[in-house]
């Protein structure tokens, strides 16, 4: 995560981390790097941007501003309590709030969440997106990790091995991504 500043000191644009989700052979993996950046300085190399919630049945990873992401995780946790075992519905309801609530609209983060059957990306635009090919990537290195995971998917590798290799490739390309990974895995149903 990075928060570069313009000459006036105000945030010019923000760069995030890399989060990757891979679903293969009855496993779903969400992996995230550990780098926290402020402008061109690495502030922390081992941050935890992937976590379990909803009694361990959902894995989430965030890219963007840390405080904003934790706010979104709390909101999603509340929606999952309201709609237990309905990840898609909880995400749609949260996306509605995110898009319409004045406070939430200002949050600069994206999330990937997964349970045993579904993987979704949530954005501040109100998007709730499901992957076409069992793989999703977000953040500054998200496209690099996504491309690498797609290239590795038909190899004799499990979901975790694909995620780790793809994240390593992204870390070698994206300056806002490092190789200190947090990886969470759930048994799943490939969908």
Tell me the catalytic residues: 17
User: What angle separates helix 66-82 from helix 87-100, to the nearest 10 degrees?
Assistant: 130
Mind spelling out the 3-state secondary structure of the chain? Answer: CECCECCCCCECCCECCEEEEEEECCEEEEEECCCEEECCEEEECCCCCEEEECCCCEEEEEEECHHHHHHHHHHHHHHHHHCCCCHHHHHHHHHHHHHHCHHHHCCCEEEEEECCCCEEEECCCCCEECCCCCEEEEECCHHHHHHHHHHHCCCCCCHHHHHHHHHHHHHHHCCCCCCCCEEEEEECCCC
Report residue 74 as tokens: 């709390």
């Amino acid at each position: 995560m990075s928060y570069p500043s313009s000459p006036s000191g105000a945030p010019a644009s923000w760069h995030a981390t890399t989060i990757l989700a891979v679903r293969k052979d009855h496993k779903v993996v969400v992996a995230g790097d550990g780098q926290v950046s402020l402008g061109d300085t690495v502030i922390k190399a081992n941050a935890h941007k992937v976590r379990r919630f909803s009694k361990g049945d959902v894995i989430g990873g965030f890219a963007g501003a840390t405080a904003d992401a934790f706010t979104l995780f709390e909101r999603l946790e509340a929606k999952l309590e309201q709609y237990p075992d309905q990840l898609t519905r909880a995400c749609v309801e949260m996306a509605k709030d995110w898009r319409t609530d004045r406070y939430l609209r200002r949050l600069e983060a994206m999330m990937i969440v997964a349970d045993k059957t579904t993987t979704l990306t949530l954005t501040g635009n109100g998007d709730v997106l499901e992957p076409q090919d069992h793989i999703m990537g977000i953040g500054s290195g998200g496209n690099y990790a996504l491309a690498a995971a797609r290239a590795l998917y038909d190899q004799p590798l499990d979901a975790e091995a694909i995620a780790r290799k793809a994240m390593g490739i992204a870390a070698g390309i994206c300056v806002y991504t490092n190789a200190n990974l947090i990886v969470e895995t759930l048994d799943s149903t490939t969908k």
